[in-house]
Structure 1
Amino acid sequence: MHADLTGSFNIGVYKSLFEYNHDACYAVDLDGNFILFNEEAVAITGYSPQEAFGMNFVSIIHEDYLEDTIEHFRRVTGGVRERFETVIVKKNSGERADILLTVVPITAKGKIIGAVGCAQDVTKQKELEALLSGQNQILEMIAKGASFREVLNNIILWIERFMNGARSSIMIADQDGNRLVHGSSPSLPDKYNAAVNGIPIGPSVGSCGTAAYLRRSVTVTDIGTDPLWADYRDLALSCGLKACWSSPLFDDDQRVIGTFGLYYDHSSSPREKDMQTIQKATDLTSLAIQHYRAKEKINFMAYHDALTGLPNRRLFDQRVQEALGETMVRAGEKLCLMFLDLDRFKIVNDSFGHMMGDKLLKYVSQKLKKCIGQEVLISRQGGDEFAILLEHTSREEAEVIAQQILKSMSEVFLVDGTEIYMTTSVGMSFFPDDGEELGILLSKADVAMYQAKKQGRNNYQTYDIMLDKKSLEKLQIENELRKALWRNEFELHYQPIFNLCKNKIIGAEALLRWKNEKCGNVPPQKFIPIAEETGLIVPIGEWVLKTALLQLKRWHSSGLKPLTISVNLSIRQFYQPNLIQMIREALDETGVNPQCLTIEVTESMTMDVESASFILHELKKLGVNISIDDFGTGYSSLNYLKRLPIDYLKIDRSFIQDIAENKSDENIATTIILMAHNLGLSVIAEGVETEEQLALLKQHRCNEAQGYLFSKPVPAEQFPKHR
């Protein structure tokens, strides 16, 4: 009795474990026919126990997994425990289900009579893994720089694996946000993609356009009757599309950047279980669109001017090089480069401010495009300079366009309610007449433009071959000099000044240097006269003074006190009305003691003694020192020198050069030294290059000297630290 009770109890336990297990449990005979089937197995497969009994397991296995599953069954009936994954097809929906099986053999009296197994539905887990795997693959594609279309196509193919036959599409909003352009839909017919490409965004323009307009998902349950699809109805039906669901795509600022659509061949919309997949797809699509738009923007910025949106110098040069590389086969055809510079643009900036100037430049770029057409390459080269490329043209046609530009630009500009009158000067060069290389053609167009300015502005000039090399060089230097200050092309070098009694550095002379991209290192004797002639020396001289004083302040802070600095004034600076005020402000701004500053003027600048005397006395009131530079080359009399408040005389290098070999030069130098001492002045010799020269200067009690014997002019960071 006890044994019977125990047996009944065991049977009850096994039956309860089988029937009430949270996993699907089943048993099959040696032929694979179901003999047991619990409620969870019913839930997974859709077959009732009555339907399952007598069915063979192969009838519910997906055909792609049948062979492997049968092999696992054979191993189990051979006495091996198996754990494996397979895929079944559900009865009611025909959907796939991923199943994880644990199967063991059933034995009776030492013989295997079947198999019993537990099954777990891992469909959601497998889908999540597949989603994450696909998502990671797409993210990897983006990171590795795959093409935009390739990434979008893969998003579509990835999501369609989970959408139960639905076909997908991605539409992208244009830059203005008014239309949707085709992004990707590899499963839809090309004729349909072509038809909806460029669909406007609006309340009744089709599912995708409406979704973008309403900023929410839109379902079209029956394309054949819905009025929103009137324009596409026949085409959609002919392509087998009966229903559509579209949802907008947003960027991080919640602006619509596109739509994601699902198309069905039956009246339908996404199932609730699909929404997680759709959300991942839309997130990936939004990320891809933003990534590639950012990449496009970076590329655009690299080749376009940030203010006007016009091609920049880099893109212009590239396009011109490509144009020059093409063979001109038509008789008489030429390539023309135009260089434009706005006349008196600086006045607008100074009068109305840089914001107004920037707006004016935008208007100018728009007017140029309107005047000569969008297809012509127009570039902003920087500042108020523009360049234009005319291909397949002639001199006559280019001159007509230049006249059109002059006429258009002379019309009043209305900027923020302010009327601004602006003209431009245009220079032109032609390939192959004026050269066959980009640099030469641009340079000659630039020269021609400055010829136009010299002709009174508001006109155009073609490059004239009659300009000799010297004139061309001068014009080019003048052209580049006008831009040098705001391009930060200037640099100061400093030459030490030695006290010959103390044998130590007591000061430095600041000397201007200019390095230009086109002209290279330009010697001061070439550009200083041009700066003087054009008036550019005034702002340049102010920059020199402030830069030198700031450097002196840094030297003082590092312990090089009481080092002095000498700065040259040109004749144009010397007679500028605000000279005294400018120097006073520079001293106040930098905090330099005026006694540490020496202002150098040339002997010829003192010929107008009355004016020079007044200016020099005003300078002395500031507390600065005054030195007469290049002394001995002018025509000042001793009487005039006596009346001027001078601290130093600087002997010109021409008298020092042969002082050791030429007795006359030695006599002149010694006379200047003696005269200066009698007038109470100190003497500085410049251009000292040999020990013999130095010995003679010391013999005749010259106070100070500078020259290559001590040091050539050097950048501030190379200035000798020992004194």
Structure 2
Amino acid sequence: MIKPSDRLQALQNDILEDIARGEPLALCMERLCHQAEAISPGVICSVVTVDDQGHLQPLASPSLPDHYVAAIAGAPTGPRAGSCGTAIHRATPVEVTDIATDPLWEPYTQLVLPLGLRACWSTPIKARDGRVVGAFAFYFRTPRRPRALERRIVATCVHLCAIAIEHDEVRARNHHLAYFDTLTRLPNRAQFNDAITTMSAASRRYGLMLIDIDHLKIVNDTLGHAAGDSLIAGVGDRLSTALIGCLPCRIGGDEFAVLIPDCESPARMRSLASAALSAIAATPLEHDGHSIQPSVTIGGAIAGEDGEDSVTLRQKCRSRTVPCQGDSPRPLCALPPQAAQRDDAPHPNSQGCRRGARRRADRAVLPADHPARHGRDRRRRGARPHAAGRRAHRDGR
């Protein structure tokens, strides 16, 4: 016969091996509950986590009914929130020997007593930095306290839960760093590449928009990189708000890409481009006492109509970009082929257009008292700097 201590050691070895192999957290915790229940027949195990809003989130409760697990999902922690919610709130173990009479369970007695559960002992799960990240609970079918073996099981399981949850947090954090942009919190180039490759491989009908922020370098050079970061983050926020149901990504310094699922027609793309432009240019962005008017350039293409693979679609987008400048945004969509082939039409990225754009953007972001702005104002009025002083010198004054 296998001793309980040997079974407890085997439980610990199995769960640590699962964690090391990278098994999903929920599966690790479900296996832990099953093995703990096998060591001490008659107990029912449950593992819950707590979210940033202080609400319970069931992680593993394989022997509890689904409707009970669903009922406690999202329940708030607090001073009278059953055993788990109270243990997390207090950050100390809570032993309820009789659920029917204990005031901590008063809000939940009608839910738990029909299940034949009469006692519950819950222990908070703490991370290494002291945060309470969840709770491990033993339910009993008779009013009683835990026995010595059950306390040993709980101590081992709580330690394993802490390791597993922290390991999962690190994995989630690394995944977020790998697939999300830290400045805009949007998916990054790696996630964009995965998404467009998946869509292309599935032969899905989708649209692609490439969006460049205009004059970001001028903002950086004039107001500093913090202002440029504020501009990038602001454009990202407005894209997320305007393009619900799409996948906006930041794929470069001043470059965004938007994947549009089930985009069947150019009209839908024009509508989304117009919504994006309106949102981006709706109001100036404020940064450190300065107002910055966002402006972007957008190009679009539709899978199937403009190409099958991601490389071709991106090239199509690049050949069709149209800048949006001025005070009022206008819908931006792909240039028709006849317009793109006109020899006499100035290209939006031609040298003359770029010089004009730089001058307009430079003036837009400079503060009113900036000396360079005053210099341009004087030249615009035809007065050369220091001209009056030179005339006075020639006249002998």
On whether the aligned pair clears a TM of 0.5, the verdict is yes
- 2-side partners of 1:454 and 1:464: how far apart? 19
The 5 A counterparts of 1:114-263 are: 126-163=3-40, 165-174=42-51, 176-263=52-139
Q: Which residue of 2 aligns with 1:403?
A: 274
CA contact (8 A) 2:54 2:77 kept: yes
CA distance in 2 between counterparts of 1:244 and 1:262 reads 6
| Mapped contact 2:273–2:333 kept (Cα < 8 A) | no
2:192 aligned partner: 316
Instruction: Tell me what 2:252 maps to.
Output: 382
1:425 corresponds in structure 2 to 297
User: CA-to-partner distance for each residue in 1:200-226, whole Å, 9 max, x for gaps?
Assistant: 233333322222222222233332344
Measured in 1, the distance between the counterparts of 2:178 and 2:122 equals: 36
Equivalents in 2 of 1:363, 1:202: separation in Å?
Answer: 37
- The gaps in structure 1 that reach 5 residues or longer are 1-85, 87-97, 99-125, 329-333, 479-529, 536-723
Name the SS of the counterpart of 2:294 in structure 1.
coil
1:423 and 1:416 map into 2 onto residues whose CA distance is 19
Tell me the distance in 2 between the aligned counterparts of 1:322 and 1:311.
Answer: 15
**In structure 2, distance between residues paired with 1:360 and 1:454:** 16
Q: Using CA pairs below 8 Å that are at least 6 residues apart, which structure has the higher relative contact order?
A: 2
Superposition pairs of residues 311-350 of structure 1, within 5 angstroms: 311-326=187-202, 335-350=206-221
Q: How far apart, in 1, do the equivalents of 2:174 and 2:134 lie?
A: 21
Q: Is the 8 A contact 2:278 2:329 kept in 1?
A: no
Q: Distance in 1 between matches of 2:213 and 2:304?
A: 27
In the other structure, the counterpart of 2:368 is none
Maintained 8 Å contact 1:156/1:168? yes
Change (3 A) 1:455 1:416: closer
Instruction: Pick closer, same or farther for the CA change 1:347–1:206 going to 2, 3 Å.
Output: farther
Equivalent residue in structure 2 for 1:354, among 225, 244, 260: 225
* Aligned AA (1:465): P
Q: Residue 372 of structure 1 is aligned with which of 239, 243, 258?
A: 243
- State TM-score, norm by structure 1: 0.44
Structure 1 Cα separation of the partners of residues 269 and 78 of structure 2: 45
In 2 relative to 1, CA 360–180 (structure 1 residues): closer, same or farther, beyond 3 Å?
farther
Which of 412, 435, 452 is residue 284 of structure 2 equivalent to?
412
In structure 2, what is the Cα distance between the partners aligned to 1:470 and 1:161? 80
Superimposed CA distance per residue, residues 238-273 of structure 1 (whole angstroms, 9 cap, x where no aligned partner): 211112122221112111211111111112233355
Match in the other structure for 1:461: 333
The letter for the 2-side match of 1:288 is A
The structure that is strand-richer by fraction is 1
Go from structure 1 to structure 2 and tell me whether the alpha carbon gap of 1:273 and 1:133 turns closer, same or farther (over 3 Å shift).
closer
Q: Take 2:214 and 2:354, find their aligned partners in 1: how far apart are those partners?
A: 15
What residue identity is the alignment partner of 1:344? H
**For residue 294 of structure 2, what is the amino acid of its counterpart?**
M
The answer for the alignment partner of 1:669 in structure 2 is: none
Name the counterpart of 2:360.
Answer: none
Amino acid at match of 1:353: G
Percent identical pairs in the alignment equals 33
- Structure 1 residues 366 and 178: CA distance shift in structure 2, 3 A: farther
Q: Which moved more, 1:411-420 or 1:180-189?
A: 411-420
Alpha-carbon separation, structure 1, partners of 2:300 and 2:109: 57
Q: Kindly indicate whether the alpha-carbon contact (under 8 Å) linking 1:452 and 1:461 is maintained by their aligned counterparts in 2.
A: no
Matches within 5 A, 1:578-597: none
Cα separation, 1, equivalents of 2:175 and 2:97: 42
- SS of 2:337's equivalent in the other structure is coil
* Cα separation, partners in 2 of 1:278 and 1:216, compared to 1, 3 Å: same
Paired amino acid for 2:7: A
CA contact (8 A) 1:324 1:436 kept: yes
Aligned partners of 1:425 and 1:457 also within 8 Å: no
Deviations 1:21-47 (A, max 9, x none): xxxxxxxxxxxxxxxxxxxxxxxxxxx
Q: Using a 3 Å threshold, how does the CA distance of structure 1 residues 305 and 226 change in structure 2: closer, same or farther?
A: same
CA apart distance, 1:162: 4.0
Asked if the contact 1:343/1:457 (under 8 Å) is kept, the reply is no
Residues in 1 aligned to 2:94 and 2:352: alpha-carbon distance in whole angstroms: 72
Aligned ranges 1:477-488 → 2 under 5 Å? none
Q: 1:444, 1:463 within 8 Å by CA — same for their partners in 2?
A: no
**Is the 2:300–2:316 Cα contact (8 Å) retained in structure 1?**
yes
How far apart are the structure 2 equivalents of 1:426 and 1:415?
24
- How high is the TM-score relative to the length of structure 2? 0.78
Q: Give the structure 2 partner of residue 438 of structure 1.
A: 310
Gaps of at least 5 residues in structure 2 are 356-397
Q: CA RMSD in A?
A: 3.2
